């Protein structure tokens, strides 16, 4: 018996998100394992600047060295937290790294090769928004940002006498934590795309202001990895404004459904709600500036 079309679409969309994200999640888990087990505990603290603004700026640029999209950055950020980064600094990295990823930069340049405004606005906007949010949260109580389960896991296995066993332990723990979050996030993204037809969203995107909000919503729903989202956005170029495309390309790597699900393995729900609202406001403002100024 043939399954209902909506259910088929739900399965297809869910699997597409999982298949697209899984390689990057696995790569991020390997990076996280290496950082946790083989990176000396004080190495980051010794080599990063002491000045808070310079420190966060350099941390946000780590994405240039690690070609992992937002999905893989979550387990990597968890590893960096165990090596001395504060939750606010880790949040700065999470928001900036997928946009400053060299693969993301190259694909954006290829997709919008005749319009440097989109590429420059995406890079500068992502960097500034990530550092602004990192600065805001640097003045809060840091441990209060994290889930108690993650804090407890950081205290496990302080003895590094057998690094291979430690590596396997951390990889198993990250797999148990990340995979359910990825699957749940993919299912929610698939469900929303089935329930809310894309045509409905497109009908709302005719004005410079509304188009920005519509593309932010679309970025949240479709949950495309930052390494390929530029070509997805290119399909809307004839219908939507440049500012709305910039908002899409900036908001999506920072906050989408699967990203929130993955980040919830580490950060408290209240923090994620606050960060999501800040990112919505700032990326919408960025899009409006591009629309009305450039």
| Residue of higher predicted confidence among 182 and 48 | 48
What confidence tens digit (pLDDT) does each residue in 178-230 have? Answer: 788 778 877 877 787 787 666 766 676 667 888 999 899 889 988 888 877 88
Q: How many CB atoms lie within 10 A of CB 285?
A: 15
User: Do 214 and 263 form a contact (C-beta atoms < 8 A)?
Assistant: no
Residue 245 reports pLDDT greater than 90 = yes
The CA distance from 244 to 49, in Å, is: 35
Check: pTM over 0.85? Answer yes or no: no
pLDDT score at 83: 79
What confidence tens digit (pLDDT) does each residue in 49-104 have? Answer: 889 999 999 999 988 877 667 777 888 888 888 878 899 999 999 999 989 988 78
pLDDT score at 152: 81
In order, the DSSP letters of the chain are -PPPHHHHHHHHHHHHHHHHHHHHHHHHHHHHHHHHHHS-TTHHHHHS-SSHHHHHHHHHGGGGT----HHHHHHHHHHHHTTT--HHHHHHHHHHHHHH-HHHHHHHHHHTTT-HHHHHHHHHHHHHHHHHHHHHHHTS-SGGGB-HHHHHHHTS----SSHHHHHHHHHHHHHHHHHHHHHHHHHHHHHHHHHS-HHHHHHT--SHHHHHHHHHHHHHHH---TTTHHHHHHTTTTTS-HHHHHHHHHHHHHS-HHHHHHHTTTB-HHHHHHHHHHHHHHHHHHHHHHHHH-
């Amino acid at each position: 018996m043939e399954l209902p079309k909506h259910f088929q679409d739900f399965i297809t969309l869910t699997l597409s998100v999982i298949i697209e994200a899984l390689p990057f999640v696995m790569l991020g888990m390997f990076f996280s394992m290496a950082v946790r087990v083989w990176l000396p505990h004080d190495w980051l603290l010794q080599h990063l600047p002491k000045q808070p603004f310079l420190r966060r700026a350099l941390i946000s640029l780590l994405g240039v060295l690690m070609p992992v999209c937002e999905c893989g950055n979550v387990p990597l950020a968890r590893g960096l937290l165990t090596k001395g980064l504060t939750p606010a600094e880790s949040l700065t990295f999470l928001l900036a790294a997928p946009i400053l990823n060299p693969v993301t930069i190259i694909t954006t340049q290829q997709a919008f090769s005749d319009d440097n405004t989109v590429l420059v606005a995406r890079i500068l906007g992502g960097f500034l928004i990530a550092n602004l949010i990192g600065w805001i949260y640097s003045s809060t109580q840091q441990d209060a940002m994290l889930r108690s389960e993650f804090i407890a896991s950081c205290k496990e296995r302080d003895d590094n006498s057998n690094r291979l066993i430690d590596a396997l332990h951390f990889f198993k723990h990250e797999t148990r934590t990340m995979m359910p979050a990825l699957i749940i996030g993919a299912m929610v993204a698939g469900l929303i795309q089935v329930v809310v037809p894309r045509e409905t969203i497109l009908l709302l995107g005719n004005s410079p202001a509304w188009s920005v909000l519509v593309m932010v919503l679309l970025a949240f729903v479709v949950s495309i990895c930052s390494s390929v989202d530029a070509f997805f956005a290119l399909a809307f170029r004839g219908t939507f404004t440049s500012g709305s495309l910039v908002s899409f390309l900036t908001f999506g790597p920072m906050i989408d459904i699967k990203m929130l699900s993955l980040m919830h393995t580490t950060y408290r729900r209240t923090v994620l709600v606050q960060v999501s609202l800040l990112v919505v406001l700032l990326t919408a403002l960025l899009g409006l500036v591009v629309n009305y100024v450039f």
